[in-house]
Amino acid sequence: MAPNQAGYAPSVHEHRYHEPPEYLASRLHDALAADPRINQLDVVARIVEGEVVLTGSVLTHDRLEAVEAVARRVAGDRRIVNAVEVRDLAGIGEHEPVRSVRVAAVGDVHFGTDSSGQLAGHVSRLSRDADLLLVAGDLTRHGTADEARVLAEDLRPCDVPVVAVLGNHDHHADEPEAVVRELERAGVTVLEGTARTFEVRGMRVGIAGTKGFGGGFVGACGSDFGERLMKDFIGHTRLLANQLRAALVGLDADVRIALLHFSPVEGTLRGERLEIYPWLGSYLLAEAIDGAACDLAVHGHAHAGTEHGQTPGGVPVRNVAQPVIGRPYTVYCVEPAARPVLV
């Protein structure tokens, strides 16, 4: 690192020590979720008055130690407050349900009329791995009914409930209703500002969905001011965000999941060019998620982005665009979490 004007070259650690708290929290969360010893969504890192505060739960004491080791590696010499709890599963009876739901997710499958068979073999026995399948938009290449019909036939053999939202590609041919109709004929639930609840392993799992839209993030975002076109652009995002929040709040569920196409946070866009962030998502979506005590948010759209992120309120966010996850789907284990509603 080059020295500054005073001839002093700050270390990498010192540079990170002075980074914005939300950046450090995001790096901590990414490291905790990616470590194979931990890999649980409900371990949350927050920066409170300069200290790293870890909350949530893990299944073993070994995982608890791994949480602190990872946090110390990332956070340097900041004080670590490890409030993560170990869940005691010894008292759970043989036939009692474990309080977690396995969520399979993928986005940006971009089915064309020549895509038949690309998913069918992977989802026909999905129940061995997951309880639900979420498809985070860009279901088709050009948004035609013919393309949607091919995807619908590939999803028809899926042996768990399938929930989807549309993406920008699915609107290109100006016939989104036809795309939805083909999918619903195959039993796929398609959400837009709406929600659906499923009974899964003794729990009520609520999914609220929206395509979402762009606009950017705090400090570099558009506003509904000026020309009518600009007002309409941001107004559309605000409308969809408000619908998402209302759908989430209205869920009577043990687990609440937000399903989107556009991203609610910058963290999962890392790898994309900064110049296109406003076209990839909006902070308004994160505000909706944080206002509804959500447990997980899933999106696609950012093909060159990053899988792991979180909202300012600590809700885990996952970019499941197929180019990012590099597989037919990925699976997350989600446990109910008592998260405060931010107003």
User: For 289-312, what is each residue's pLDDT tens digit?
Assistant: 999 989 999 999 999 999 999 999
Amino acid identity of 241?
A
Nearest to 217 by CA among 159, 171, 183, 263: 263
CA 319, 165, 134, 243 torsion: positive or negative? positive
126, 28: one domain: no
Contact call for residues 334 and 103 (beta carbons, < 8 A): yes
Judged by average pLDDT, the poorest of 13-17, 38-42, 192-196, 314-318 is 13-17
How is residue 274 annotated by DSSP?
G
Domain region containing 261: 101-334
* The domain boundary residue, chosen from 86, 109, 130: 86
CATH code where residue 195 lies: 3.60.21.10
In this predicted structure, what is the pLDDT of residue 78? 87
Judged by average pLDDT, the poorest of 140-144, 200-204, 294-298 is 200-204
* The domain boundary residue, chosen from 58, 86, 114: 86
Buried/exposed 173-201: b ≥16 CB within 10 Å, e otherwise: bebbebbbebbeebebbbbebbbbbbebe
Sheet with 330-334: strands ordered across: 189-190, 162-165, 132-136, 101-106, 330-334
In this predicted structure, what is the pLDDT of residue 18? 54
Residue pointed to by tokens 């399948």: 133
**Rounded mean pLDDT, 89-114:** 75
74, 189: one domain: no
Q: Is residue 339 part of a domain?
A: no
59, 110: one domain: no
In this predicted structure, what is the pLDDT of residue 316? 94
81, 117: one domain: no
Model confidence, pTM:
0.73
80, 146: one domain: no
**Rounded mean pLDDT, 24-45:** 72
Residue pointed to by tokens 């013919």: 146
CATH code where residue 20 lies: 3.30.1340
**Residue 331: pLDDT above 80?**
yes
Contact call for residues 128 and 321 (beta carbons, < 8 A): no
In this predicted structure, what is the pLDDT of residue 46? 80
66, 106: one domain: no
Instruction: Count up the domains in the chain and report the number.
Output: 2
75, 187: one domain: no
Q: Is residue 96 part of a domain?
A: no
pLDDT > 70 fraction of the chain, expressed in percent and rounded:
86
Query: What Cα–Cα distance (Å) separates residue 285 from each residue in 35, 218, 270, 289, 311?
Result: 27, 12, 18, 6, 10
Rounded distance, CA 245 to CA 191, Å?
A: 13
* The domain boundary residue, chosen from 86, 109, 134: 86
- Convert the pLDDT of each residue in 47-60 to its tens digit: 887 888 887 777 66
Q: Is residue 262 part of a domain?
A: yes
**Residue 340: pLDDT above 90?**
no
Q: Which two tokens stand for residue 132?
A: 């639900």
Q: How confident is the model at residue 29 (pLDDT cuts 50, 70, 90)?
A: confident
111, 80: one domain: no
Greatest mean pLDDT range, 26-35, 66-75, 97-106, 114-123 = 114-123
80, 32: one domain: yes
Q: Is residue 92 part of a domain?
A: no
Rounded distance, CA 124 to CA 113, Å?
A: 20
Mean pLDDT for the chain overall: 86
Q: How confident is the model at residue 217 (pLDDT cuts 50, 70, 90)?
A: very high
In this predicted structure, what is the pLDDT of residue 59? 65
Q: Is residue 91 part of a domain?
A: no
**Rounded mean pLDDT, 37-48:** 70
Q: Which two tokens stand for residue 207?
A: 């999914």
In this predicted structure, what is the pLDDT of residue 155? 97
273, 143: one domain: yes
143, 45: one domain: no
**Residue 5: pLDDT above 60?**
no
Q: Is residue 1 part of a domain?
A: no
144, 51: one domain: no
